[in-house]
Structure 1
């Protein structure tokens, strides 16, 4: 018993040598490092997407019912509050937070991992020369795995937003889809979500890297020379531009994803066939319905994601990501 207590107390209240407080702590590497990237990405995405749930509710309604919600973003807010009450703006918060926690971890952590793996394969010199393909390849691979985690929760969120009486929250909606439609119900939108998210993520990370590199070059600064507040400002500005680019590129797929998840497929319908059908019905104008709202949403989300991600990485001492910018 005494031995057990000594081990317990020693582990809980270790006595450190004074020199330990002077020497720098070793920086994390390997699994430890990339798990910190995962946590930082999970937190930054779940916080930002969760906070903007009301904007996403309005955007989804505009996409799915453009003849009803035809008064823009502010008008959409007013319509929903007037017809359903303020609480309706938080519809889908549960699956949004949970889904983007998982997706954010795989997205950001995966991007850091795949970027390093690619650099290890081709060498730093070639990676710097062909850094755009490296950014695009790493972000595409990361997003593929992130979407496997996100898709069931995104399907639940869209069903809750598009059909307010479908279920009471995340668990009820998730259970109903599982019971009535099975695994295919969760992954009916997997093709469209890849079609939307992979180009989105490629544009997001590649634009961020390029804009940040140009901004640092223009001001004759390096990442290492930036103070905490300066790094946040650079990340916010670069992230905002990256968000705009990503929103425009992925808008048609975002609209199609909302349409596919709103209703069940007819007997014999394939996902590809439904995509073609909805595209013809909507036309170019319809595919870009709600773009203004989405620019606000995605631009804001992306800017704050990169700012929060950088801050959390620093607090976790996970600053040694693979850098290939010139």
Structure 2
């Protein structure tokens, strides 16, 4: 997709994400017109129209834009790969029946038809939209916050630690938002007949295991997502910086937006492959615990084994997460470009106070 550099991008941006400041020139007239007082405007946290104002870095509008970008990048991409996620979860839970990627799709097609490939898409969309909002919005906040604490010199010297700390802090919050949706999603996808989706699955889940049951998988989810996100953000930032430093002859600010977004996708894809490997054992645990009532981590280890935890469903997850992460960074940075912000990475750590 081409993202041309155009003077005004306002028509491309949903109207609820910005406010406009229109000004109609007063025609010259010898007759003095009576001016009516305008009501005092209350402070707004909406994103200003890019054609009128530039969003100040690290302002409330900046963090609002990053949060909105996170919603689009995570919610849409996870929903798009629902068929892959569904096969992966079933391979983890029932490997005797779902022996491989190809046979897994074949079993689903025979038993549930094409419609079955998208079972659980609603909790996926809503859960990962909530997670993406917190993940990206709070990452930008904590990255700046920890840079301010470290000071200019240390923030630049230890920028990777800033990336790691900022992403870990953001993911702790993001997983609290995701966990209930993830619990229902796994149950819907791996137990045919349990429920059609979120609307009937959520109340049925609560009746069976109580509200606390929605967070039964929170600790394993943290175990999966925190290492994943730390790898995702720190690796992405360093890969993008290395690409601009070693592979592109121009400074980042002289590169076209199309090239910058290509770098974002490439850096995201490479980071995603590493993320999938690091977080896969915990991903198997999350699927196992959310599928079986009363199951424990010990039960999962005994049944799957250490090797099974590390490798079951891994090839499919590498393909899924690599593509997913690359697309997420591409969408996130494309949204930032549309609202007048620079793409992520390839520049020094945030300036401190």
TM-score by length of 2: 0.82
Tell me if the contact between 1:128 and 1:325 (Cα under 8 Å) persists in the aligned partners: yes
State the match for 1:162 in structure 2.
190
Residue 314 of structure 1 and its aligned partner are, at CA, apart by 1.2
TM-score by length of 1: 0.88
- State the distance in 2 between where 1:257 and 1:153 align: 13
How many pairs align? 306
- State the distance in 2 between where 1:259 and 1:12 align: 50
Q: How does 1:118-129 map to 2 (within 5 A)?
A: 118-129=146-157
Tell me if the contact between 1:37 and 1:318 (Cα under 8 Å) persists in the aligned partners: no
- State the distance in 2 between where 1:165 and 1:244 align: 33
From 284, 306, 323, the counterpart of 2:329: 306
Q: How does 1:187-266 map to 2 (within 5 A)?
A: 187-218=215-246, 219-265=248-294
Residue 229 of structure 1 and its aligned partner are, at CA, apart by 1.3
Residue 251 of structure 1 and its aligned partner are, at CA, apart by 0.3
Q: How does 1:55-134 map to 2 (within 5 A)?
A: 55-70=84-99, 72-134=100-162
Check if 1:178 corresponds to 2:206: yes
Tell me if the contact between 1:124 and 1:324 (Cα under 8 Å) persists in the aligned partners: no
Check if 1:277 corresponds to 2:290: no
Check if 1:286 corresponds to 2:314: no
Residue 14 of structure 1 and its aligned partner are, at CA, apart by 4.5
SS in 2 for 1:82: helix
Tell me if the contact between 2:155 and 2:349 (Cα under 8 Å) persists in the aligned partners: no
Gaps of 5+ in 2: 1-18, 27-48
Tell me if the contact between 1:92 and 1:169 (Cα under 8 Å) persists in the aligned partners: yes
From 53, 59, 62, the counterpart of 1:33: 62
Tell me if the contact between 2:333 and 2:343 (Cα under 8 Å) persists in the aligned partners: no
C-alpha RMSD of matched pairs (Å): 2.3
Tell me if the contact between 2:65 and 2:336 (Cα under 8 Å) persists in the aligned partners: yes
- State the distance in 1 between where 2:312 and 2:203 align: 31
Residue 13 of structure 1 and its aligned partner are, at CA, apart by 9.7
- State the distance in 1 between where 2:314 and 2:21 align: 55
Check if 1:324 corresponds to 2:348: yes
- State the distance in 1 between where 2:222 and 2:23 align: 51
Tell me if the contact between 2:336 and 2:343 (Cα under 8 Å) persists in the aligned partners: no
SS in 2 for 1:166: coil
* Deviations, residues 154-182 of structure 1 (Å, cap 9, x unaligned): 00100000112111211111111223322
State the match for 2:81 in structure 1.
52
SS in 2 for 1:165: coil
Residue 52 of structure 1 and its aligned partner are, at CA, apart by 0.4
- State the distance in 2 between where 1:164 and 1:104 align: 28
Tell me if the contact between 2:98 and 2:104 (Cα under 8 Å) persists in the aligned partners: yes
Gaps of 5+ in 1: 1-10, 267-273
Which structure: greater helix fraction? Answer: 1
From 288, 297, 305, the counterpart of 2:320: 297
SS in 1 for 2:210: helix
Tell me if the contact between 2:260 and 2:343 (Cα under 8 Å) persists in the aligned partners: no
- State the distance in 1 between where 2:215 and 2:348 align: 36
Residue 321 of structure 1 and its aligned partner are, at CA, apart by 7.0
Change (3 A) 1:12 1:24: closer
State the match for 1:7 in structure 2.
none
- State the distance in 1 between where 2:70 and 2:91 align: 29
Tell me if the contact between 1:94 and 1:170 (Cα under 8 Å) persists in the aligned partners: yes
Tell me if the contact between 1:127 and 1:324 (Cα under 8 Å) persists in the aligned partners: no
Change (3 A) 1:286 1:163: same
